[in-house]
Amino acid sequence: MKPSRLTVTEKPVKEIAADLLVFCALEKKDKSPKCDRAVKSRVEKAFSLGDFKGKAEEELLFYPEPKEGKAKRILLIGLGEMDPKKDPDEIFETLREAGGGIAKACERTKAKTLVLCLPEIPGFGAEDTADALAQGILLGDYRFAKYKESTRKETDYTGLTTIQFSAGKSVKQVRKGARKGLTAARAACEARNMANEPGNGWTSKEFADHAKALAKTHGLIYKCLEKKELEKLGMGGILAVNQGSAIPPRLVILEYRPAKKSQTIMLVGKGITFDSGGISLKPAQGMGDMKYDMCGGAAVLSAMQAVGEEKPPVGVVALIPATDNMSGSRAVRPGDIIRHFNGVTSEVLNTDAEGRLVLADALAYGIKTYKPDCVIDAATLTGAVIIGLGHHHTGLVSNNEKLTSLVTAAGKKAGEPVWPLPLTKAYKKQIESKVADIKNLGGKDGGTITAAAYLSNFVDKTPWVHLDIAGTAWDFTEKSYIPKGPSGIAVRTFLNLIRDWNNPDLKTDNV
Ligand code: BES
Ligand code: MN
Ligand code: ZN
């Protein structure tokens, strides 16, 4: 997807030839919906017949007369009532969903070229309007067809080739917003691409190669700790999980430093490229989905793509402990005791609780090496979070109230809601071991929290948020801009957090 795919134009929409020209309509109580002059009489007629009220998701497709422009088809899409008193995050989400709806309409009509006449929304700026619609269209236009290329038919729809935003008066703001939306959506789609790669297509090596390429393109600092170095550093968790694998483990690191001295945000993503469970083997049914067990790592790496493009004033370091979790004669056994990077020993009672083992080393190493002001990890860590929250909220566990509120706000704005879970002494007690410092199994109750309790042994006093994305990384809430399969969750949350970062004093809010 090239950046040039989305352009902003000042040309009157009538003069642009496109497969699909889209106008938005705002619902008005008992009145004809508010829309652009160009389609006003059409909308009034449809409204008077009771066919179109401008409600969200409502659509009207027609074929323009020559005097109505050069487009092949015109789509009217409803946005619902746009009360300026509404929560701006909600308006943002409505527009993103409308964007997704537009992408779906393009697929239905096989439109390759799209022109969108941007709506004016009272109390909501042109920049945000363009940002949200760009996100929705680009996220909704996503498809993964890499392994179907040779059987592709000429008539198969392959997505939009060009998108033009007709800006009206606010070209400058629209350009800025469209660029932001494009950066965010492309990063999220990149995370989806990584996740869609199967276990043999995306290994620790692909993680490293991709990071290296990003570093080269954007001037980031790349480092990859290979097996020998992990051994030397004593990263017993990553090594244990990798023991059954034929592919060496890697701790992949990307560092972005702004020109001026700044705070540093550290991101850590679980990069298990396939999770068989190891000796504690998973049942066959559904095991194929465990190629998605690297979605945390994909999110973190893709966020760095956006960071590289935008060069924000805050430092960001990303770490991805990457390996698959396999079985075999060399594999780690239930009952084995390992020693993590920070010296903490752990009794591995279930080899399927591997995410916490690799994250533990990455967290401890990253905090010691980079001394970040805060750390956020994202991991498809527990099935338990799906029992608790379903597929609509990411589970959040933290040691810091301020950071929790910042991540919560960033997620809300991104349409990626998170929900907090408590982490108190009693949960930490559940992972005390008789033979080692801790164990990797906390019993069947409160599984998401006991997994986080494990991680808490490796963050020291650093303000930390853990995001359990097991329920949201794929099969996320059904929305027009969220495809079946991997969602790209957390990428846009991270990006919002980084963009809005205001050097808060976090330490005082530790709990
Ligand atoms: N990757 C899984 C968690 C998972 C399960 C993600 C289902 C998405 C869907 C993780 O490594 C795992 O296997 N966790 C175990 C932990 C248990 C053994 C304590 C789980 O949740 O069952
Ligand atoms: Mn597992
Ligand atoms: Zn796993």
Per-residue pLDDT of 183-212, as tens digits, reads: 999 999 999 999 999 999 999 999 999 999
Are residues 219 and 312 part of one domain? Answer: yes
Going by pLDDT thresholds of 50, 70 and 90, the confidence category of residue 508 is: confident
Any ligand 1 atom below 6 A from CB of 470: yes
Query: How many whole angstroms separate alpha carbon 419 and alpha carbon 452?
Result: 14
Q: Whose CA is nearest to atom 13 of ligand 1?
A: 352
Q: Is residue 113 domain-shared with residue 196, that is, in the same domain?
A: no
In a domain, 278, yes or no: yes
Assess whether 295 and 146 both reside in one domain. Answer: no
Mean pLDDT, to the nearest integer, of 473-493? 98
Final residue of a structural domain among 169, 199, 226:
169
**pLDDT value at position 127?**
98
Based on the fold, state whether residues 286 and 351 are members of the same structural domain: yes
316 C-alpha to center of ligand 2: Å?
28
What is the CATH classification number for the domain harbouring 443? 3.40.630.10
Q: What are phi and psi of 178, to 5 degrees?
A: -60, -40
| Catalytic-role residue among 40, 212, 282, 339 | 282
CA atoms of 85 and 379, how far apart (whole Å): 36
Name the residue with tokens 């929560």. 87
Residues 338-393: pLDDT tens digits? 999 999 999 999 999 999 999 999 999 999 999 999 999 999 999 999 999 999 99
Does residue 9 surpass a pLDDT of 60?
yes
Q: 356 alpha carbon to ligand 2 midpoint, in Å?
A: 9
Neighbours of 84 (CB within 10 A): 10
pLDDT in tens, 144-176: 999 998 898 988 999 999 999 999 889 999 999
Residues 454, 340: Cα–Cα separation, whole Å:
12
Residue-wise over 211-242: b if at least 16 C-beta within 10 A, else e? bbebbeebebeebbbebeebeebbbbbbbbbb
138 and 250 in a single domain? The answer is no
pLDDT over 70 (residue 435): yes
- The answer to whether residues 477 and 403 belong to one domain is yes
What would the mean pLDDT of 460-485 be, rounded to a whole number?
Answer: 98
Specify if 183 maps to a domain.
Answer: no
Is 175 within the bounds of a domain? no
Question: Helix count (H) and strand count (E) of the chain?
Answer: 14, 19
Measured from the CA of 440, which atom of ligand 1 is nearest?
19
Q: At what angle do helices 401-414 and 491-499 cross, to 10 degrees?
A: 120
Q: Are residues 135 and 273 in the same domain?
A: no
Backbone angles phi, psi at 346, to 5 degrees: -140, 135
Query: Confidence class of residue 5 from pLDDT cuts 50, 70 and 90?
Result: confident
Residues in CB range of 27: below 8 A, 6 or more apart: 33, 53, 54, 55, 56, 78, 79, 80, 81, 82
Structural domain contains residue 182: no
pLDDT-above-70 percentage for the chain: 99
The model's pLDDT over 58-85, given as tens digits with 9 standing for 90+, comes to 999 999 998 888 999 999 999 999 999 9
What is d(CA 395, CA 100) in angstroms, rounded to the nearest whole number?
Answer: 25
pLDDT > 90 in the chain, percent: 94
Does residue 294 have its Cβ closer than 6 Å to ligand 1?
no
Ordered DSSP codes for 314-372: SEEEEEEEEEEE--STTSPPTTEEEE-TTS-EEEES-TT--HHHHHHHHHHHHHHHH--
Q: Give a yes or no: residue 181 inside a domain.
A: no
Count structural domains, the chain: 2
CA distance 103 to 155: 18
Q: Give the whole-angstrom CA distance, residue 101 versus residue 75.
A: 11
CA gap 353, 433 in Å, rounded = 15
Domain coverage including residue 237: 191-504
Say what the pLDDT of residue 149 is. 86
pLDDT in tens, 224-262: 999 999 999 999 999 999 999 999 999 999 999 999 999
Is 275 close to ligand 1, i.e. is its CB under 6 Å away?
yes
Whether the per-residue pLDDT at 50 is higher than 90: the answer is: yes
* pTM greater than the 0.95 cutoff: yes
Residues 99, 155, single domain; the answer is yes
| pLDDT at res. 33 | 98
Please report the pLDDT score of residue 1 as a whole number.
Answer: 46
114 and 54 part of one domain: yes
90 and 195 belong to one structural domain: no
Q: Whose CA is nearest to atom 3 of ligand 1?
A: 382
Atom of ligand 1 nearest to the CA of 282: 13
Any domain includes 122:
yes
What's the rounded Cα separation, in Å, for the pair 198 and 191? 13
4: pLDDT strictly greater than 80: no
Six-digit token string for 114: 């799209």
Q: Is residue 451 part of a domain?
A: yes
Q: Is the beta carbon of 468 within 6 A of some atom in ligand 1?
A: no
State the closest ligand 1 atom to the C-alpha of 277, by its place in the atom list counted from 1: 13
Question: 32 by DSSP, 3-state: which?
Answer: strand
C-alpha 348, offset from chain centre: 30
Q: What is the CATH number of the domain that holds 155?
A: 3.40.220.10
- What is the residue-wise DSSP string for 485-511? SB--TTHHHHHHHHHT------GGGB-
90 and 42 inside one domain: yes
Q: Partners of 394 in the beta sheet?
A: 418
- Other C-beta atoms closer than 10 Å to the C-beta of 81 total 16
Instruction: Show Cβ contacts of residue 180 under 8 Å, excluding neighbours closer than 6 positions.
Output: 127, 131, 134
- The answer to whether residue 152 is catalytic is no
pLDDT score of 3 more than 70: no
Distances 390 to 373, 384, 387 between C-alpha atoms, Å: 31, 9, 6
The bound ligand whose nearest atom lies closest to the alpha carbon of 470 is: 1
Between CA 33 and CA 53 the distance in angstroms is: 6
Averaged over 399-403, what is the pLDDT? 98
Segment 273-285 mean pLDDT: 98
Tell me which ligand sits closest to the C-alpha of residue 381: 1
> Do 211 and 359 reside in the same domain of the chain?
yes
509 part of a folded domain: no
**Cβ proximity of 378 and 270 under 8 Å:** yes
Local structure of residue 435 (DSSP, 8 states):
S
The string of DSSP letters for 35-99 reads --GGGHHHHHHHHHTTS----TT-EEEE---GGG-S-SEEEEEEEE---TTS-HHHHHHHHHHHH
Helices (H), 391-499: 401-414, 425-429, 447-456, 491-499
Cβ proximity of 398 and 420 under 8 Å: yes
Task: Dig out the tokens for 226 from the structure.
Answer: 């290979």
How many CB atoms are located within 10 Å of the residue 392 CB? Answer: 12
- pLDDT, greater one: 152 or 489: 489
- Closest atom, ligand 1, to C-alpha of 272: 1
| C-alpha distances out from residue 135 to 167, 179, 218, 287, 447, Å | 16, 10, 22, 32, 34
Q: Is 356 a catalytic residue?
A: yes
Ligand nearest to the CA of 385: 1
